[in-house]
Structure 1
Amino acid sequence: MAKRGGKRTVGVPYRFHVTPGIFMNSLVPVADNSGAKLVRVIGVVGHYSKSVHRRIPGAGVGDMVVVVVREGKPELRKQIFRAIVVRQRRPYRRPDGTWVAFEDNAVVIVTPEGDPKGSEIHGPVAMEATLRWPTIANLASIVV
């Protein structure tokens, strides 16, 4: 019997396969001016962690994650937000055969609908993230 309802996605529904580079409990710097400096990943949106025994959910470039702010403005600390992964150190392969790896990991804090909370993004942003989240592409100064 077919499943009913289907998946409800936020952003562009298609996605390139990206090797996961950020996992649960990772401390990741924030690449925007929302006021948060360092966040801890506490979940990956759209990842069902009970599929394989003891598998830790991982996120790649362009994925939405659930984060808690560890360092930043006092009113943001200990608050839970959603964020988009815009850079990862782990190399991943693009469909044209090139391999991409960034110098650091980074996320951008967003609303549950996918709109960025900050008004600018520091550093380069992966092309996969801009294709999936057009609002992030508008704020990105460098797209790699």
Structure 2
Amino acid sequence: MKAISAKVVKALNSGSILNCADNSGAKKVQIISFKTYKGRKRRYPRGGVGDVVTCVVKKGVFKLRHKIQYGVIIRQKKEYRRKNGIRVCFEDNALILVDKKINPIGSEIKGPVAKEVVERFLQIGKISSIVV
């Protein structure tokens, strides 16, 4: 994984429910854990834009429901600051489903994608329509 150019605020906890922004068939997804989280003892794991998570599909197509999947967070409501001073926030918290090699399961992404995600994962940038 490549480094992100912005200082992203870690605003999402494990247990948070997010929208699924691709056409894989999932609608609502719950975060179970964060793949590369390293934190202090007894501190709840948190993540933000560009983080890889393990999640479970709560609402969507029957074949995806109640199975553990991987996802990448592409939008968050909490604003974060880029190096040039711009503060970025989105209307919702959203992720897309990916496989173990971080290749997207769906073939298109609905809505905008943060620039920091495309910097880190180029495959996601290929199928996204809007990059902010």
Task: Tell me the TM-score normalised to structure 1 length.
Answer: 0.88
Aligned with residue 106 of structure 1, among 88, 94, 101: 94
Larger Rg: 1
Correspondence for 2:31 = 41
Residue aligning to 1:140: 128
RMSD in angstroms over aligned alpha carbons?
Answer: 1.0
Alignment match of 1:119 (pick from 93, 107, 118): 107
Name the TM-score, length of structure 2 as normaliser.
0.95
Return 5+ residue gaps in structure 1 as ranges: 1-11
* CA shift digits 1:79-135 (9 cap, x unpaired): 111100000000000011110000000000000111000000000000000110100
1:26-85 residue CA offsets vs partner (Å, 9 max, x unmatched)? 00010000011111000001103xx42321111111110110010001111001111000
Structure with greater strand share of residues: 2
Q: Secondary structure at the match of 2:63?
A: coil
Identity of paired residues, percent?
41
Whole-angstrom CA distance in 1 between matches of 2:124 and 2:34: 18
The gaps in structure 2 that reach 5 residues or longer are none
Q: In structure 1, what is the equivalent of residue 9 of structure 2?
A: 19
The ranges of structure 1 where at least 4 consecutive aligned residues each deviate by more than 4 angstroms after the TM superposition are none
Match of 1:7 in 2: none
